Structure 1
């Protein structure tokens, strides 16, 4: 793989990695981590040349790098609560409602099985395609769809239960 091919096919994906890496490592380490990931991918460029799913391989490499880094530092994975919060300079009723909803969703996410939570975050927060998620988690696309469907259903049921309870109808 030439320098130009690498830049077009791999390095161009670095912006798509940013949300996932930021969620896993925290915003302060994200740019350094992406730089290290790109170095690792450059070293593996011969493997990438004939790989059938370059996007999936790049996401898998990034995810594994973040997990390895977290294991070395013995840290807990940072949740994407920062991704779910609505931040505005002025506080009004709508802001309070959004913050409350985000807190409720954050609590629901904590109760989901790890794979469901990860698939939900990668698809609905980070915006990855099903093929990329499947490659990153080493599972079939159909399984990704099932996990996402179950996660969304559980979140929906939990939200409905919460709001029905607050209205006094549950």
Structure 2
């Protein structure tokens, strides 16, 4: 693969890779470093990648695996000052407070879901990947990805209904 091909096919995906990596690592600096390392790894493998049938899928799979390796080495620190500062920064706008509460509830629910369901839901609904791309990233069949997403969305809906319908319990 020539330099121009690498720029067009792989480096052009770096923004999407960054968003996925940031979602997984939850740290701006670590995410930037990870994307740089991922691109270096891909550059080193450029001759092997040249004939790959799905280059974007390979790029995202590489990024995902790299992040998993990093997370195995170090668990994310939700007590860090950066994370706490983001939580403290708030406006008094009621709509924003409600949205933040909903986001926190969805995060809690996602942590309780089976890992594959949570991952598929995040890739589809947060990162906007197509089913085909998710199937490649997660090494699943497209039909199974659809099933996982459906089950995850249903479970999130059920749990949110339980949380927000506390005033009107079913008898």
Normalising by structure 2, we get a TM-score of: 0.86
Equivalences for residues 159-170 of structure 1 within 5 A:
159-165=160-166, 167-170=167-170
Shift of 1:157: 1.3
How far does the alpha carbon of each residue in 1:30-76 deviate from its partner, in whole angstroms, 9 at most, with x for none?
111111101111111112111111111000001111111222x2325
Name the residue aligned to 1:102.
103
How far does the alpha carbon of each residue in 1:5-38 deviate from its partner, in whole angstroms, 9 at most, with x for none?
0100111011111111012222221111111101
How far does the alpha carbon of each residue in 1:135-167 deviate from its partner, in whole angstroms, 9 at most, with x for none?
1111111111111111011111111222222x3
Tell me whether 100-109 or 89-98 shows the greater mean CA deviation. Answer: 89-98
Task: Write the distance in 2 (CA, Å) between the matches of 1:86 and 1:140.
Answer: 38
Distance 1:96 1:151, change over 3 A: same
Task: Write the distance in 2 (CA, Å) between the matches of 1:87 and 1:8.
Answer: 41
Q: Is the 8 A contact 1:70 1:76 kept in 2?
A: yes
User: Match of 1:75, SS?
Assistant: coil
Equivalences for residues 1-170 of structure 1 within 5 A:
1-25=1-25, 26-71=27-72, 73-76=73-76, 90-165=91-166, 167-170=167-170
Structure 1: segments with no counterpart, 5+ residues: none
